[in-house]
Amino acid sequence: MAMMVLDVDPKADSGFPCWNPVRRRFAPESPFFESGNIERELLAKQIALDLGEEEKHQLWRLLDEDCKDLFCPIVGCRARLTSLENFENHYNSQHAAACSVCYKVYPTSRLLSIHISEAHDSFFQAKVARGYPMYECLVEGCGLKFKSYKSRQRHLVDKHNFPSSYDFFKNKASHHPSKKAREKKIHRKQAATTDRREETEEEEEGTTSQKMDVEGEASVDSLTSALSNLTTGSTPSSVSFGRRNPRGLTFVPRSVHQRNTKKPEDSTPPP
Partner 1 sequence: MSTMAEDGFASHKRDPVKSSVGGVASQKRRQHAVAVRKERRESLVRAKRLCRVGSSGDDADTPLNNAMMVDEEESVLDAQAAAAVEELKSAVANQGKGAMQKVVGALRELRRVLSRTEFPPIEAALEAGAMPLLVHCLAFGSPDEQLLEAAWCLTNIAAGKPEETKALVPALPLLIAHLGEKSSSPVAEQCAWALGNVAGEGEELRNVLLSQGVLLPLARMMLPSKGSTVRTAAWALSNLIKGPDPKAATNLIRVDGILDAITRHLRKADEELATEVAWITVYLSALSNLATAMLVKSNVHELLLHRLATSTSLQLLIPLLRSLGNLVAGDSQTTSAIFMPGQEITGKCDNKYNIIGVLTKCLKSEHRVLKKEAAWVLSNVAAGSVEHKQLIYKSEAVIPLLLHLLSTAAFDVRKEVAYTIGNLCVAAASEQDSGRLSLILDHLVFLVEKGCLPGFIDLIRSADTEAAKLGLQFMEMVLRGMPNGEGPKLVEREDGIEAMERFQFHENEDLRNMANGLVDRYFGEDYGLDR
Using CB under 8 A as the binding rule, the residues of this chain from 55 to 94 that contact partner 1 are 59, 62-63, 66, 70-75, 81, 84-85, 87-88, 91
Based on CB atoms, which residue is closest to partner 1, 173 or 214? 173
Out of 3, 191, 192, 214, the residue judged to bind partner 1 by CB under 8 A = 3
Based on CB atoms, which residue is closest to partner 1, 17 or 143? 17
Footprint of partner 1 on 201-260 (CB under 8 A): 243-244
3-class SS at 139? coil
126 binds partner 1 (CB under 8 A): no
Footprint of partner 1 on 5-64 (CB under 8 A): 5-11, 13-29, 32-33, 35-45, 48-51, 59, 62-63
Least gap, CB of 43 to partner 1 (angstroms): 5
Based on CB atoms, which residue is closest to partner 1, 23 or 262? 23
Based on CB atoms, which residue is closest to partner 1, 225 or 235? 235
| Plot region of 132 (φ>0 → left; ψ -120 to 50 → alpha; else → beta) | beta
Based on CB atoms, which residue is closest to partner 1, 163 or 269? 163
Q: Single out the residue of 122, 123, 255, 251 nearest to residue 198, CA to CA.
A: 122
CA 224 from centre of chain: 24
Least gap, CB of 204 to partner 1 (angstroms): 12
Question: Which residues is 70 bridged to in the sheet?
Answer: 81
How far apart CA 231 and CA 95 sit, in angstroms, is 18
Based on CB atoms, which residue is closest to partner 1, 186 or 214? 186
Least gap, CB of 140 to partner 1 (angstroms): 14
DSSP 210-246: HHHHHHHT--HHHHHHHHHHHHHT---TTS---TT-T
3-class SS at 164? coil
Q: What angle, 0 to 180 degrees and rounded to 10, lies between the N-to-C axes of helices 220-232 and 109-120?
A: 110
Least gap, CB of 255 to partner 1 (angstroms): 26
Cα-flanking dihedrals φ and ψ of residue 270, to 5°?
A: -60, 140
Out of 168, 215, 218, 253, the residue judged to bind partner 1 by CB under 8 A = 168
Least gap, CB of 247 to partner 1 (angstroms): 13
How far apart CA 118 and CA 128 sit, in angstroms, is 10
Cα-flanking dihedrals φ and ψ of residue 136, to 5°?
A: -75, 150
